[in-house]
Structure 1
Amino acid sequence: MKLSILPLAVAMALAGCGSSDSEPAKTPITGVFLDGAVENLDYVAGSAAKASTNAKGEFTCYAGDTVAFSVGGIALGSATCAATITPLQLANSTDVKDVKVVNRLLALQLLDEDSDPANGIKLTAAVKTALAAKSADFSADATTFNTALSATLTTAGTQYAARSVDDARRALVREHFEDTLASKVGTPVNEAFTQTTPLGSVAVTVTRYQVQAATSYYIPYEGTNAKVKADFPLGFLPSYGSSLAFKGTNAAGELEFYGLTDRGPNGDGPNLPALSGSGTTGAKIFPSPSFVPSFGVITVGKSGAVLGSSTPIKVSTTVKTSGVAIPPGTLGNSSELPVLDAMKYDATSKATFDANGLDTEAIVVDKKRSLLWISDEYGPFIVKLDPATGIILGKYAPGSGLPDIFVKRRANRGMEGLTLDTSTDLLHGFLQSPLTDGSATYSVTGKSELIERYARFTRWTEFDPNTGKAGKMYAYPLAAADYQDGRTGNAKLGDVVALGNGKFIVIEQGAAPSGKVFNKLMLVEIATATDIAATAYNPTSSDLEKSSMAGAAVNGADWSTVTTLKKTLLLDLNAIGWLAEKAEGLTIVDGNTLALANDNDFGLKTKVFDANGNAVEDADVTKCNVDANGVIITSSSAGCNSANSIRVARGTDAERPSRLWLIKFTKALTSF
């Protein structure tokens, strides 16, 4: 015992002499504030002076410090110093649905300089100055907070005042934050839902991701319009959600998917003088006409959903396909004139016709043959593809593999969905909407109406990959009451997956009677459906469509004798938070799980601008005619004024994200 007392006494003596000099220095912690990386967010850590987060959202604090965050005079809240702080900690909550959390998300994302949280949130010095005298009650209910925030945005400046604050925006900011938690924090959010449908109680758990992509995957703008360049400084957004196919699981246990682009960045154009010299022809704007339709690999794992590779689709090792329109007079021409910046056709520009044009819309993995199958809207075509090289090994068209009648597909409404039923080794695909073939008597109005608007079904075909030929054909029923203006032509089927034993799941969507787009998953059964490829239904003609409209047989083809595919609502996607208009990618991950993706249209849409550079919100560019110089001819249609201009611009905030959702059902998909 005595031996131990001396060292203890010495230690105590030393501790009493200059103890402050012997305390170890505190090590600063570099933390990051995340709702996406938030740049220029003010903070005070402990007793330190006010500072601002850097471009990575980083701040500095010491263990035990309380870190308080603010934007101008708006106090967002505080949290204990940590490597990562999010609005969850500031709201003292663990629930992303908590109104206190969503209110904070709303404020941060709507005060972002470019209103694009996908590339981070930047708070400008001007905004902080403008809001120096403002405050916010983040505990307020949604309606009260929305109103208060709208006033705050007006104070922040004109560009902020124009941003919407409503329930849809609240869902959008939360969706972005959920992806941040999954991709940056490693804590994906799983949300449970139960719906009652004609199939009974349907329970699912949804995990929401937004696909991340390096800037190398952005698509360069090839025009010269400075305003387009300003809207898309990095190029057009990647868009690999036109279809989705489960590839498998990688060595790390992460999910891998094939994602598919369509024809590339494009937007509706006005009506141009026809090349024939008589009348007009619709146009499509191709701001990146060199784009090549491609498929990519998207990995879903600890870093969220990430686009990791892209393979262009090629005709041969030296010839690539194109996304621009197929030449007039050629199978697959869509009756559109390609243009770039000027609203006039220029055969010497990059935006001209290409015989190798493809508008790819569905991708299917064929493990048996080590192939990919892709469907297209131009031809429509089905394409057989080498997944290793992207080279086309076979191409099937109406009259040469596909049903002759498919040549009458509506422009831009070709073969949207395709799937392989491994139980029968047959591909199944459909036209997105009713075909087009002039007019027919419609019993509802007693008038002659367009078939593409009022036919009561769209066509579904089997295709044998062994013979390269179509087989049976079926009618997918469309009810006029489900669609705006009673027009079944407003239906746009998205994608399809095969469950086996004659069952499929289809995305059905389109403008409802209210005008708002709906998105639903339908269980489709083929067992009792009539084969409308039979001679009795005149399968090379639209007689059956005409009969469905007239309520009487047409040239012997009688709609009343047809049993359509049986469809039953499986899941209302909007009721589980789906916001995008174009749900176009659907694939089976396992026996209980689907993956769903959207086509974000490369983040663009066509807009009409007045002489002051303001978008004419109610304008429909397809109702405008232009003269030989590309100048709008003034008419009574909204926005169609010679003083106005047409160009591609940023799409809506709700449509720009590239989504990939996992939807896990509590019971096997085959049990429905």
Structure 2
Amino acid sequence: MKRFFRRKRLLIVLAALGAVSTTTVVSAGPAALEAVAVKFQLTSGGKTLTLDKDPVVIDGSTYVPLRTIGEALEKQVEWNEWNQTIALKDIPKVTGKFEWKNAPVLEKGIQEGGFSGLVHLPKDAPDIFYTLADRGPNGEVGKDKLRTFPIQNYTPRLYKFKISNGAIEILETIKLSLPDGKLDKVTNSKYITGLPNLVGPDEVPYDEKGVTKLPYDPDGLDLEGIAYSPSDDTFWISDEYRPSILQVKRDGTILGRYVPKGSKEKLVQAGAQIPIFDTLPEVYNKRISNRGFEGITISPDGKFLYTSIQSPMANPDKKTGEASRNLRILKMDIATKQIVGEYVYVAEQAGIFVKVNQKDIVISDLSALSSDVLLVDERDKNAGADAQLKRIYKSDFSKATNILGKEISNNLESLSIQQLKDQGIQPVSKELIVDIAKLGYPYEKIEGLTVVDKNTIAIVNDNDFGISYDDKGVLTLTGAPTQLQLIQVSDDLTAK
């Protein structure tokens, strides 16, 4: 192995990321070297190892994919594209699984669920968590993929819950509501809905069968992330619609909604009752529909809030956004409620995976370890055996370039990795903490992420309320559970 790491970088990439299947000539120094694919059996501890790439012989030496060797030694292998480095770590372990059994029925046989974020409060017992559900049961019908809402007046909500004996026990359900004296335009009560906000930029809401159009709700929210502010005992949540972030009291009362510049007037004209502050950069109005703010977290000292866009934005157009790897993460000063930072997070390259589109590689959640170090949940849209990218990275913002207010922010999505380097832009770093797909994770959506203690994280899936639509456009119940998993990692997650 020592000799392997002394080879030229090209040979390292060949061994770590793949090999050739036929005879190939590669250049590694003054002379060309021939790489010949070979097939042989490789065993470890008496067990035959499965190779994703054939070994190759180069200049008389045999090279085996490093990932295969690493996993045989119970090591997690990480290739860092930006820094051109390889790291091996002990493989994390799942230490607990907990499901929400017999969840209450809302309507039409549809059960509560849809967990889309997760947070553990430092002073709470290790088995206590808070989460939230998104905009409610919804789906897509027909060739036009009309957005349906089977339960029109569903109220987005927070949950406090406990885990024990393999089960999730709901301790408190907190429905989101408007400030005193305010009435929602759709419900004519203090409770809001999960319906889209505005005609034009948002999806058109339909009933269960995609026949009747439903009203828009300027105060409607599609909740995706939850964070806790120790300075004033409030929650902050992220919303996909505008996109926006909101401050919420413990009882569910919404104190304020922070939106991109240019959004406030439209919401007010549509009848919004939530106090609105247009303090976010205007470019965030270009978010791709259903791909707004997803992750949100607050540093342990309570000073800074971070929120991440789910996918690259339609900047200047949707085609550019769907091909881009450049995602944005904003930083807010909690005391002033002003945005003080914007950073580039480079998603994994879809081309190194099988049947993964770049547009489907997303950030789902964040969890802060310190004022400038976060855990980031990056995933694909595949499930079960097809899942390849379900990873938790540790990202350091301290040396990353703050692009807030800089010209490059205007065309970020169109830039390649090399162009970022050429312009001196340093993205946030990425250090692999756990590759959850390698642990046999069965679900598509890891939607919630939080730190429990210095060596334990918790994740929760979004089961989409256990519904889907069949080929004929009929709503069906999938029985997909809501599940929380505890994962033990080798890294020290203590705030530094």
Closer/same/farther in 2, CA of residues 667 and 487 from structure 1, 3 Å limit: closer
Q: Whole-Å Cα distance in 1 between the matches of residues 433 and 122 of structure 2?
A: 25
Q: Whole-Å Cα distance in 1 between the matches of residues 281 and 427 of structure 2?
A: 18
Which of 83, 90, 102 aligns to 1:202? It is 90
1:503 corresponding residue in structure 2? 373
**1:552-587 deviation digits (Å, cap 9, x = unpaired):** 6xxxx9964311111122211022221110001011
Question: Following superposition of structure 1 onto structure 2, how do residues 280-319 of structure 1 map, counting pairs within 5 Å?
Answer: 283-302=146-165, 304-317=167-180, 318-319=189-190
- Which structure has the highest strand share of the two? 2
1:374 corresponding residue in structure 2? 237
Matched to 1:434, the amino acid is P
Q: Whole-Å Cα distance in 2 between the matches of residues 529 and 520 of structure 1?
A: 21
Question: Following superposition of structure 1 onto structure 2, how do residues 448-597 of structure 1 map, counting pairs within 5 Å?
Answer: 450-478=319-347, 479-482=349-352, 487-500=357-370, 502-511=372-381, 516=387, 518-537=389-408, 539=409, 541=410, 543-548=411-416, 560-597=423-460
2:116 corresponding residue in structure 1? 242
2:130 is equivalent to residue 258 of structure 1: yes
Instruction: Mark the runs of 5 or more structure 1 residues left unpaired by the alignment.
Output: 1-192, 222-234, 273-281, 440-448, 610-645
2:271 corresponding residue in structure 1? none
1:413 corresponding residue in structure 2? 291
Alpha-carbon contact 2:321-2:414 (below 8 Å) kept: no
> How far apart are 1:477 and its partner, in Å?
0.3
Alpha-carbon contact 2:126-2:452 (below 8 Å) kept: no
Q: Per the alignment, in what secondary structure is the counterpart of residue 212 of structure 2?
A: coil
2:211 is equivalent to residue 344 of structure 1: yes
Residue identity over aligned pairs, in percent, reads 26
> How far apart are 1:659 and its partner, in Å?
0.7
Q: What is the RMSD computed on CA atoms of the aligned residues? A: 2.8
1:116 corresponding residue in structure 2? none
Instruction: Mark the runs of 5 or more structure 2 residues left unpaired by the alignment.
Output: 1-73, 79-85, 181-188, 262-277
**1:52-109 deviation digits (Å, cap 9, x = unpaired):** xxxxxxxxxxxxxxxxxxxxxxxxxxxxxxxxxxxxxxxxxxxxxxxxxxxxxxxxxx
1:432 corresponding residue in structure 2? 310
Q: Whole-Å Cα distance in 2 between the matches of residues 487 and 212 of structure 1?
A: 32
> How far apart are 1:650 and its partner, in Å?
2.5
Q: Per the alignment, in what secondary structure is the counterpart of residue 470 of structure 2?
A: strand
Matched to 1:327, the amino acid is L
Q: Whole-Å Cα distance in 2 between the matches of residues 257 and 420 of structure 1?
A: 15
Q: Per the alignment, in what secondary structure is the counterpart of residue 575 of structure 1?
A: helix
The higher-RCO structure (CA 8 Å, 6+ apart) is 2
Which of 474, 487, 494 aligns to 1:647? It is 474
> How far apart are 1:325 and its partner, in Å?
1.4
- Which structure has the highest helix share of the two? 1
Q: Per the alignment, in what secondary structure is the counterpart of residue 410 of structure 1?
A: coil
Q: Per the alignment, in what secondary structure is the counterpart of residue 574 of structure 1?
A: helix
Alpha-carbon contact 1:209-1:305 (below 8 Å) kept: no
Q: Whole-Å Cα distance in 2 between the matches of residues 452 and 289 of structure 1?
A: 31
> How far apart are 1:421 and its partner, in Å?
1.3
> How far apart are 1:486 and its partner, in Å?
7.1
Question: Following superposition of structure 1 onto structure 2, how do residues 612-631 of structure 1 map, counting pairs within 5 Å?
Answer: none
1:268 corresponding residue in structure 2? 140
> How far apart are 1:410 and its partner, in Å?
1.1
Q: Whole-Å Cα distance in 2 between the matches of residues 258 and 585 of structure 1?
A: 10
**1:227-249 deviation digits (Å, cap 9, x = unpaired):** xxxxxxxx212215210111367
Closer/same/farther in 2, CA of residues 558 and 406 from structure 1, 3 Å limit: farther
**1:599-643 deviation digits (Å, cap 9, x = unpaired):** 00000112222xxxxxxxxxxxxxxxxxxxxxxxxxxxxxxxxxx
Q: Whole-Å Cα distance in 2 between the matches of residues 321 and 508 of structure 1?
A: 30
1:79 corresponding residue in structure 2? none
Matched to 1:206, the amino acid is V
> How far apart are 1:412 and its partner, in Å?
0.9
> How far apart are 1:471 and its partner, in Å?
1.5
Q: Whole-Å Cα distance in 2 between the matches of residues 475 and 565 of structure 1?
A: 6
Q: Per the alignment, in what secondary structure is the counterpart of residue 216 of structure 2?
A: coil
Q: Whole-Å Cα distance in 2 between the matches of residues 307 and 194 of structure 1?
A: 37
1:391 corresponding residue in structure 2? 253
> How far apart are 1:303 and its partner, in Å?
6.7
Q: Whole-Å Cα distance in 2 between the matches of residues 313 and 354 of structure 1?
A: 14
Matched to 1:546, the amino acid is S
**1:518-548 deviation digits (Å, cap 9, x = unpaired):** 31111111122111214232x3x3x222233
TM-score by length of 2: 0.72
TM-score by length of 1: 0.54
Q: Per the alignment, in what secondary structure is the counterpart of residue 111 of structure 2?
A: coil
Q: Whole-Å Cα distance in 2 between the matches of residues 564 and 420 of structure 1?
A: 20
Closer/same/farther in 2, CA of residues 194 and 219 from structure 1, 3 Å limit: farther
Q: Whole-Å Cα distance in 2 between the matches of residues 247 and 240 of structure 1?
A: 21
1:599 corresponding residue in structure 2? 462
Which is greater in Rg? 1
Closer/same/farther in 2, CA of residues 559 and 268 from structure 1, 3 Å limit: farther
Closer/same/farther in 2, CA of residues 558 and 484 from structure 1, 3 Å limit: same
> How far apart are 1:485 and its partner, in Å?
6.4
Q: Whole-Å Cα distance in 2 between the matches of residues 600 and 292 of structure 1?
A: 17
Alpha-carbon contact 1:520-1:572 (below 8 Å) kept: yes
Matched to 2:221, the amino acid is L
Q: Whole-Å Cα distance in 1 between the matches of residues 293 and 219 of structure 2?
A: 17
Closer/same/farther in 2, CA of residues 648 and 560 from structure 1, 3 Å limit: farther
Q: Whole-Å Cα distance in 2 between the matches of residues 293 and 516 of structure 1?
A: 29
